[in-house]
Amino acid sequence: MNLPIEFEKKMKDFLGDEWEDFLYSYDNNRFQALRFNTLKVGKDKGIEQEIAGIMDKLGIPMDKKVTWADNAYYYDEDKRPGKHPYHEMGLYYIQEPSAMSAAALLSPKPGMRVLDLCAAPGGKSTQLSTYLGDRGLLVSNEINTQRSRILSQNIERMGIKNAIVTNEDSFTLTAHFPNFFHAIQVDAPCSGEGMFRKLPEAVNEWSPENVAICATRQKEILDNAAVMLKAGGTIVYSTCTFSKEENEDVIEYFLNGHPDFTVEKMERFWPHKQDGEGHFVAKLVRRGELLLDEDAYPQEKSDVLSEDITGKRKPSGKCAGKKNKRSTVKEAGGISKDNMELLNEFLDMTLTDDMADWIRNGKLMMFGEQLYRLPDIQVDLKGLKVQRAGLHIGEFKKNRFEPSHSLALALKSNEAKNIVDLDIDDSRTAGFFNGQSVTLGEDQIQKCKKGWTLVCVDGYSAGWGKVSGIQVKNHYPKGLRNKI
């Protein structure tokens, strides 16, 4: 690999005798890993046993674990777990191994209010959600509009119920969340020196000037994060670059400006020392007593979200260094009596009592014809650009309610009354993910009632279907088909 000359000179000076080993690492294959989603895996059986069964069907041995993250395993380059139905169902997330270190270092507790400030495409957010479980609040923010949509899609795929996805810059968020979060992840935009093997274009984009620009931006983001952190709270700062200017120097700057913080841990992951592309992590703890309460955040009379949540507004907002005109917003309203009747009819026929009550007893909000259940720890979203406000339940259409794909992926198979469970090796499984109807077997005909059914594969939810006779009409989203 042809590295920038100035980068080579800088790294030689920085690494000394280790330079040759570091340089040699660029000639090796890059490391790949997957991390299991414990919101879906390990609920009914022992997690090791369940993971072993999934890995066996993926054809991936379990002999090499990622030591700094829970339930994460390396896989060889010839494997393609991203093209498997299990991936589409959110059983695991494919992530660069050393990048898993940041969320593992933050490791928030259930019930906490957590912010992932620079969150796309979602690796760290989805990892943080496994620590929270279904308790607490996760706000996942991404400044770039298009990347925030990818982030929202990954939140959906992993079945996360208690996440809000915002599309803002860090300064805007400080006005909405002062002294609010118990834990904040700052995976700061950087010069991407650890991405050279994965993204060759990152080599062409590298320059000392870009490193300096990144460092300035990182300091600003970290300062803004401090405004939003509660006393006793923790910030984990991370980058995928090797530059001292963007790592240790940023931490030194921050500590000088924030004497109420201490560094609890600071670590580098080098590609010639660990099996990964490289990462820097630093754990910053604010002095004081951390109060782990779940009091709701004060709200205005009604929540206000941007029209983007209905998919109706055009991309806008500050992203990738471009200032665009801020979008207009509209008020979100409560559910009408007629729509509540339609929702109750669906819930009573389709879901178990506990799950149905969890939905109807929560904070339900309408955005256009779209219905969302907001997280139990509610926040004032007025004036923010929001891609996702909790769990998308479904949409009202011409005197009927149609459940969302988000709801399907958030459900366990034992939370639906009507299910069709397919085996991973069944030919109907690939057909379902590609948009085909499912023909019921004789035993399934006896069990399935007419109407909405949760289609599962090996006991894990995959999407919705609608039973009519011996056929299950496919309601898997058209935009997600033909990937298997």
- Encode pLDDT of 450-461 as tens digits: 999 999 999 999
Q: The tokens 């700094």 sit on which residue?
A: 68
Tokens of 107: 């490791």
Q: The tokens 């890995």 sit on which residue?
A: 55
Give the model's confidence band at 379: pLDDT under 50 very low, under 70 low, under 90 confident, else very high: confident
**240 is a catalytic site residue:** yes
Query: Are 382 and 303 a contacting pair, CB within 8 Å?
Result: yes
What single letter denotes the amino acid at residue 287?
Answer: R
Query: Are 240 and 277 a contacting pair, CB within 8 Å?
Result: yes
By CB atoms closer than 10 A (0-12, 13-18, 19+), residue 352 is: middle
Please determine, for residue 7, whether its predicted confidence score (pLDDT) is greater than 50.
yes
Pairing outcome for strands 33-36 and 72-74: antiparallel
- Encode pLDDT of 263-287 as tens digits: 999 999 999 999 999 999 999 999 9
Query: Are 68 and 101 a contacting pair, CB within 8 Å?
Result: yes
Which residues contact residue 259 at a Cβ distance below 8 angstroms, ignoring those fewer than 6 apart?
none
Q: Which secondary structure element, helix H or strand E, spans residue 219, and what is its range?
A: helix 208-228
What is the rounded average pLDDT of the residues 91-108? 98
Pairing outcome for strands 400-403 and 419-422: unpaired
What pLDDT is stored for residue 28 in this prediction? 86
Please determine, for residue 312, whether its predicted confidence score (pLDDT) is greater than 80.
no
Please determine, for residue 309, whether its predicted confidence score (pLDDT) is greater than 80.
no
What is the rounded average pLDDT of the residues 230-245? 97
Give the model's confidence band at 45: pLDDT under 50 very low, under 70 low, under 90 confident, else very high: low
What is the rounded average pLDDT of the residues 380-402? 94
Q: Where do the H-state alpha helices sit in 308-454? A: 337-350, 353-360, 405-410, 427-433, 442-447
- The 8 Å CB, 24+ separation contacts for 41-47 are 41/71, 41/91, 41/92, 42/71, 43/412, 44/459, 47/71
What is the rounded average pLDDT of the residues 359-379? 92
Tokens of 202: 């990152």
What pLDDT is stored for residue 445 in this prediction? 87
SS3 354: helix
- Encode pLDDT of 431-442 as tens digits: 999 999 999 998
Query: Are 196 and 202 a contacting pair, CB within 8 Å?
Result: yes
- Encode pLDDT of 133-183 as tens digits: 999 999 999 999 999 999 999 999 999 999 999 999 999 999 999 999 999
What pLDDT is stored for residue 296 in this prediction? 38
Catalytic residue among 240, 319, 448, 456: 240
pTM: 0.91
Rounded distance between C-alpha atoms, residue 328 and residue 228, angstroms: 25
* DSSP, res 415: G
Tokens of 266: 């600071």
The rounded percent of the chain whose pLDDT value lies above 90 is 82
What pLDDT is stored for residue 310 in this prediction? 35
What pLDDT is stored for residue 44 in this prediction? 62
Q: How many CB atoms sit inside 10 A of residue 406's CB?
A: 23
Which residues contact residue 20 at a Cβ distance below 8 angstroms, ignoring those fewer than 6 apart?
none
Region of poorest pLDDT, from 43-57, 91-105, 447-461: 43-57
What pLDDT is stored for residue 306 in this prediction? 36
- The 8 Å CB, 24+ separation contacts for 16-21 are 18/270, 18/272, 21/272
Query: Are 79 and 423 a contacting pair, CB within 8 Å?
Result: no
Query: Are 413 and 350 a contacting pair, CB within 8 Å?
Result: no
DSSP labels, 117-167:
TT-TT-HHHHHHHHHHTTSSEEEEE-SSHHHHHHHHHHHHHTT-SSEEEE-
Q: What is the mean pLDDT of the chain?
A: 90
Please determine, for residue 42, whether its predicted confidence score (pLDDT) is greater than 50.
yes
Tokens of 18: 């280790």
Q: Which secondary structure element, helix H or strand E, spans residue 229, and what is its range?
A: strand 229-239
- Encode pLDDT of 318-362 as tens digits: 223 333 333 322 345 678 999 999 999 999 999 999 999 999 999
Q: Does residue 458 come out as left (phi exceeding 0), alpha (psi in the -120 to 50 range) or beta?
A: left
DSSP labels, 1-42:
----HHHHHHHHHHHGGGHHHHHHGGGSPPP-EEEE-TTTSS
Please determine, for residue 3, whether its predicted confidence score (pLDDT) is greater than 70.
yes
Query: Are 126 and 154 a contacting pair, CB within 8 Å?
Result: yes
By CB atoms closer than 10 A (0-12, 13-18, 19+), residue 454 is: buried
What pLDDT is stored for residue 427 in this prediction? 94
